[in-house]
Amino acid sequence: MHETTILQVEGLVTEFKSERGIVNAVNKVSFDLERGQTLGIVGESGSGKSVTNLSILRLIEYPPGRITGGKVLFHDQDLLSVSENEMLSIRGKHISMIFQDPLTSLNPVIKVWKQIAETLMLHQGMKKQEAKKQAIELLRIIGIPDPEMRAECYPHQFSGGMRQRVMIAMALSCNPDILIADEPTTALDVTIQAQILDLIREKKEQYQTSVIMITHDLGVIAEMCDQVCVMYAGRIVERAGVEALFGSPKHPYTRGLLESIPRMGNVGTQRLHSIKGSPPDLANLPPGCPFRDRCDKAMDICASQLPPEVVLQEAEGERTVACWLYPQEGKHGRA
């Protein structure tokens, strides 16, 4: 663990019981988050990006979900082994989260200021009036016009973008060390998306917050992140700096993802690229690499053995990739 590492996830396993057996939604995921850094987690639906982050905050509903292995080290403390009461004082205060759908993430029958003030009263012991003042101030900071009047509104009187701003105000109210943004712009218009991303970036720099950005939008990754983890079928298949990843993707899945971005120049002349096939059934994972059926570089070994994570030392920094194309090049990473 480096001096600057604020969160270290190691070998995280989260499983869900389903009718068809146990699903390993997150399977031995490891990554580090450096202070002040933005880490992107990208992957398609069901790849385990959201579950990974809900597991960090221990927000997995049991049953059916359960965290069965690994460590989440935050300030030398394993979040997976602290008591639920200690967890309550970490959520919202040290690590907070923004959710995908701002339309459903706010309580419809509680006034906006009250929902922001709630976190302040819970974690900072503020009295109601003081918390209200602070909540209005936060609304002003995140760019809601006429915050005194707006604070008295109910969420349904806000637009989607404004509601996401309120969510951000709530998440940042206690000045957390880590902000987890779970697809914060997926449900918003493109124009609003840019505003929200700018807001997150601005506040991140202002408060020195580390950010985990979950998304399936590679454009967001390119714009926001320093480090990127690419997830597939509950595992991280490639982890690298954002420039290295976009410049020379190593894992065939990452390459496929990058090639499927539509480009302006090719409109009308070329069919959009897509990765053939569909993600594997997580309840029934075959041995070997989960991506091999869709991979055009599949070899014999891919069918029988799971590729270990291999650390490659590059000019831009460290890169980890889990693919048999890069066997034993460097020393083994965490399997």
Partner 1 sequence: MKTPRIVRNKIALAGLIVILLYVLMSIVSLFWLPFNPVAMNSAEVLQGPSLASGHLFGTDEFGRDVLSRIMKGTSVSFIISVSATALGAVIGIFMGVWAGYLGGKTDNAIMRFADILFAFPSLLLAIFIMAILGEHTYNVVLAIGIVYIPQFARISRGSIIALKGNEFIRAAKSNGAGRTYILRHHLLPNITAPLIVQISLSLSTAILLESALSFLGLGVQPPDPSWGNMLSSARKVMMFAPWTAIYPGLAIVLLVLGFNLLGDGLRDILDPRLRNVR
Q: Which residues bind partner 1 (CB under 8 A)?
A: 57, 59, 63, 85, 88-93, 96-97, 99-101, 104-110, 118-119, 122-123, 154, 156-157, 167, 170-171
Nearer to partner 1, 97 or 230 (CB): 97
What is the nearest approach in angstroms of partner 1 to the Cβ of residue 9?
Answer: 17
Nearer to partner 1, 108 or 268 (CB): 108
CB 294 within 8 A of CB 275: yes
Nearer to partner 1, 157 or 266 (CB): 157
Beta bridge partners of 319: 312
Residue type, 283: A
Please confirm whether the linkage preceding 155 is cis (ω < 30° from 0): no
Q: 3-class DSSP state for residue 42?
A: strand
Nearer to partner 1, 108 or 145 (CB): 108
CA geometry: angle 144, 149, 153, nearest 5 deg: 85
Q: How far apart are CA 110 and CA 158, in angstroms?
A: 13
Strands (E), the chain: 5-18, 21-34, 38-42, 65-74, 77-78, 95-98, 178-182, 210-215, 227-232, 235-241, 310-314, 317-321
CB 42 within 8 A of CB 230: yes
What is the nearest approach in angstroms of partner 1 to the Cβ of residue 267?
Answer: 36
Nearer to partner 1, 22 or 87 (CB): 87
What is the nearest approach in angstroms of partner 1 to the Cβ of residue 154?
Answer: 4
Nearer to partner 1, 167 or 231 (CB): 167
What is the nearest approach in angstroms of partner 1 to the Cβ of residue 59?
Answer: 6
Q: 3-class DSSP state for residue 112?
A: helix
What is the nearest approach in angstroms of partner 1 to the Cβ of residue 85?
Answer: 8
Q: How far apart are CA 146 and CA 139, in angstroms?
A: 9
Nearer to partner 1, 88 or 335 (CB): 88
Q: How far apart are CA 312 and CA 332, in angstroms?
A: 9
What is the nearest approach in angstroms of partner 1 to the Cβ of residue 96?
Answer: 6
Q: 3-class DSSP state for residue 210?
A: strand
**What does DSSP say about strands 178-182 and 95-98: parallel, antiparallel, or unpaired?**
parallel
Nearer to partner 1, 214 or 275 (CB): 214
Closest among 311, 294, 320 to 236, alpha carbons compared: 320
What is the nearest approach in angstroms of partner 1 to the Cβ of residue 317?
Answer: 31
DSSP letter at 95? E
What is the nearest approach in angstroms of partner 1 to the Cβ of residue 82?
Answer: 13
Q: How far apart are CA 64 and CA 61, in angstroms?
A: 6
